Amino acid sequence: MNDLHLIELDGAHGEGGGQILRSALTLSMITGQPFRISQIRARRSKPGLLRQHLTAVQAAQAISGATVEGADIGSQTLLFQPGPLRQGDYRFAIGTAGSCTLVLQTVLPALWYAAGESSVTVSGGTHNRTAPPADFLIDSWLPLMQKMGAKTELELLRHGFYPAGGGEIRAKVAPSRLQALTLTERGARLGVDATAVVAAVPGHVAQRELERISAKLGHLLRSSRINALPPSHGPGNVVMIRVEHEQITETFVGFGERGLSAEAVAEQAAGEAYAYLNSQAAVGEHLADQLALPIALAGAGRFTTSVVSEHLRTNLQVIEKFLPVETSISAVDQHGWLVEISA
């Protein structure tokens, strides 16, 4: 063990999911601080490391030359001792429909601190309901990272749906210095657009989804379209609503699955988009969680969000264990919250 203090984490704390592990891996690689986590994903129906979590651990190990104990499927305890960050061209295969995006979000911030340029290609699931889809990262998360100074590009090479997987995302990243972010207002609304994606799924499913979204959002909807992928990319279906403002673009998603009607899929996405449009907050629930760590790395920032999830609260607590920052959440009105991070 190196001279740095070993950070102890309880994986059952707060929301008790994989976010605790992923944030710890990212922050450990960047700060050099080792950690041990117990009760990994203890609150989930299948506790311990699943394939996507193990891939994230293996990716972090490769990028930082870490010494790792407990990196096995189903393991509920992990010891991670990072070494120096190493730029390079990396490829990681999850082997299931586990989330490519969550693996990428684990390692990309660390590579901002490497000495040179890198590329990372991850294969697996790009669109499943337990993680942000690739489009969310590209349209909503990435522009804010670039605004903060992150030199990163993302490309969706192939869709991968649950349960088959087979998708692929590629990232290019260069050393970056993050700037503080203040995001308390959206600016003027520029447009609301809906896309229904189908692969080896009847086209009428996509049409029904778009009709339901149009009925829900009415005049707010600027455009809608169907993206019919080759059958070899499926079976799969996802509907996405892109809400663009001057300062931010949010993405709301509904995932098709067996036994769920097209209307129910669309209603999920449209309901979230409608609630966001009728709030004053800049950031939606899921993006709020994903902004916390980069802002903390920058040393300061603040944003308003329409929902404070247990995910966000838990993530802030993990961040405070690794970084010399203070975080706070306060109500700003009946429709939103202000999240502040400061050194």
Is 289 flagged in the annotation as binding? yes
Asked whether residue 147 falls in the same domain as residue 204, the answer is: no
Q: Is residue 45 part of a domain?
A: yes
Domain boundary among 277, 296, 322: 277
Residue 1 reports pLDDT greater than 70:
no
Supply the pTM of this predicted model.
0.94
Q: What is the mean pLDDT of residues 256-273?
A: 95
Same domain, 225 and 308: no
Query: 230 and 215 in one domain?
Result: yes
Is residue 45 very low, low, confident or very high in pLDDT (cuts 50, 70, 90)? confident
Environment class of residue 68 by beta-carbon count within 10 Å: exposed (0-12), middle (13-18) or buried (19+)?
middle
- Among candidate residues 197, 195, 269, the one with its CA nearest the CA of residue 235: 197
The reply to whether 184 falls in a domain is no
| 105 assigned binding-site residue | yes
pLDDT at site 3: 52
Residue 151: burial class (beta carbons within 10 Å; 0-12, 13-18, 19+):
middle
Average per-residue pLDDT in the chain? Answer: 94
| d(C-alpha 298, C-alpha 179), whole Å | 5
* Predicted local confidence at residue 130, as pLDDT: 82
**Residue 239 is part of a domain; what is its CATH number?**
3.30.360.20
DSSP code of 165?
A: B
pLDDT, one tens digit per residue, over 99-129 is: 999 999 999 999 999 999 999 999 999 998 8
Total number of domains in the chain: 4
- Asked whether the beta carbons of 310 and 191 are under 8 A apart, the reply is no
Last residue within a domain, chosen from 65, 85, 105: 85
Is 139 assigned to a binding site?
no
Annotated active-site residue in 127, 233, 311, 335 = 311
Based on the fold, state whether residues 80 and 98 are members of the same structural domain: no
Q: Please state the rounded mean pLDDT for residues 34-59.
A: 92
Structure tokens, 69? 């104990």
Gap between the Cα atoms of 198 and 226, Å rounded = 8
Tell me if 288 is assigned to a ligand binding site: yes
Is 311 labeled as catalytic in the residue annotation? yes
In a shared domain, residues 76 and 133: no
Instruction: Give per-residue pLDDT as tens, 9-43.
Output: 999 887 777 889 999 999 999 999 999 999 999 88
Same domain, yes or no: 92 and 151:
yes
Residues 174 and 94 in one domain: yes
CATH code for the domain of 18: 3.30.110
- The domain in which residue 104 lies consists of 87-178
Would 300 be classed as within a structural domain? yes
pLDDT tens per residue, range 136-172: 999 999 999 999 999 999 999 999 998 888 999 999 9
Confidence (pLDDT) at 158: 96
Answer yes or no: do 172 and 161 share one domain. yes
The answer on 194 and 209 residing in a single domain is: yes
pLDDT over 60 (residue 185):
yes
